[in-house]
Amino acid sequence: MTQIKVIIVDDEPSYRKALERTIALMPECELGGVFENGEEALVAIQRGRPDVILTDIGMPKLNGIELTEKVSSDFPDMKVVILTVNEDDDTIYDAFRAGAMGYLLKTSTPNDVIDAIRAAYKGEAKITPKVAVRLIKDFRKGKPEPTHTDRDIMDLSAREQEILTLIGEGMRNKNISEKLQISEKTVKNHVSAILKSLRVSSRTEAAMRAIRHRDPNAKAH
């Protein structure tokens, strides 16, 4: 069985304990450490190289978004899932821009956290539905403003554009593989190339670019 090495970063002792209990429910997971601030966690990350990092946002010394940005820059193969009480729009977008692969509110169930860990490990995103709805509404209002032109999308190969469109429709790698009759590994390779070409750090951002490219005048209904 594949072992997923996970670390916890949160300054709230009771929530750290709750996350430890959740991870104990996952036979494929190994707890690589528990830390109360991003600065301590970063030292351990550099030494232990975890697969998935669960982190709060509001912490002393190095907050969760700063930690996410540092990890995404220095260790692009590591995945970060944000667990927070914070649901304001600016913070959500800052987290994804920093490279987060998931964003859950702390009201999420243990099963939600387990799903987020497994999804992040596979390079997929898990977002609390309440937050996802707000992302969609904000996107339809024209937010956030695109940081690059649609030329990035036009420069993709025909196959990459096809896969990006399917990502924008919410399809996962397995579904894309079945639809296009190519291997899932090939899909993953294309997705990695797409993220690099579009200069985005997550499927969520790529999907938003795809939707905007398809309908730049989309409005909330």
Same domain, 79 and 183: no
**What are 107-126's pLDDT values in tens digits?**
999 999 999 999 999 888 88
Domain that holds residue 185: 146-214
Contact 71, 58 (CB under 8 A): no
Residue ending a domain, among 77, 103, 138, is 138
27 compared with 152, residue with greater pLDDT: 27
Residue 26: its pLDDT value, please?
A: 94
Of the candidate ranges 80-94, 142-156, 170-184, 188-202, the one whose mean pLDDT is the lowest: 142-156
Number of domains in the chain: 2
For residue 8, the 8-state DSSP code is E
- Tell me: cis bond preceding 144? Omega within 30 of 0 counts: yes
Same domain, 210 and 122: no
Give the rounded percent of residues in the chain with a pLDDT score beyond 70: 88
Q: Which two tokens stand for residue 108?
A: 């999420």
Same domain, 65 and 96: yes
Same domain, 154 and 129: no
Phi and psi at residue 104, to the nearest 5°: -120, 140
Mean pLDDT of the chain, nearest integer: 85
Distant-in-sequence, close-in-space partners of 100: CB < 8 Å, separation ≥ 6 = 68, 80, 81, 82, 202
Phi and psi at residue 165, to the nearest 5°: -60, -40
